[in-house]
Chains A and B, each alone.
Chain A
Amino acid sequence: GQNIDQPTEMTATEGAIVQINCTYQTSGFNGLFWYQQHAGEAPTFLSYNVLDGLEEKGRFSSFLSRSKGYSYLLLKELQMKDSASYLCAALDSNYQLIWGAGTKLIIKP
């Protein structure tokens, strides 16, 4: 079956760095997405990786290893506004998104 695994909850300190991991098993693979969802709000697109390696976008970076079925989202210089859930999703061979349950990130001062 198809499956996405990511930690349920993580805690980090303001100004620090945090890495949120995601492993996936899908029927075919056409890319890996990360979305951010603040409580009570819409998920918003953060990043898309389809090739191996690291994509950097400001304070946020996303990494993909296709051979390992693994991705991570790296958040640097954490701010209180980064407190949110981070959703990992893989695009399968039918171009359907398979979603993880999300990682709730709590930032402490």
Chain B
Amino acid sequence: DVKVTQSSRYLVKRTGEKVFLECVQDMDHENMFWYRQDPGLGLRLIYFSYDVKMKEKGDIPEGYSVSREKKERFSLILESASTNQTSMYLCASSLIADLAKNIQYFGAGTRLSVL
């Protein structure tokens, strides 16, 4: 089974702090994604990556950056956390060979509260 692991289930940070959310997948997937999930809204794509050291902006990249130094790891960085970044953050991965079908496998999520 594909396993996508997010380092923390819950995080509480203060406004202005730098925050790192880590995601690791164990199935040698090329594609990795970061989403945020808010009540009443669909999943919104923040950033994605098709390969090591590659990154592409999603729909809402402002206030975020990412890092992919190794194939299995994709990190989301909040340079200076703000209260409007309080949300559930979901990481996902998929095989590049499945581009058309693009089944994404998700981690359990990190619920971030910024106070």
Contact = CB atoms under 8 A, between A and B. Distances in A.
Interface of A: 4, 8, 30-31, 33, 40-45, 48, 50, 87, 89, 91, 95-102
Contacts of B41: 101
Contacts of A97: 43, 45, 102, 104
Contacts of A87: 42-43
Contact of A31 (B100, B107, B108, B109): B100
Interface in B1-21: 4
Interface size band for B: 10 to 19
A45 B104 contact: yes
Nearest to B40: A101
Given A96-B45, A99-B42, A101-B42, A42 B102 contact: no
A91 to B, nearest CB: 6
A8 B40 CA distance: 8
Contacts of B45: 96-97
Contacts of B102: 31, 33, 91, 95, 97
A102 B105 CA distance: 17
6 contacts: A4-B42, A41-B108, A43-B43, A48-B101, A95-B99, A102-B42
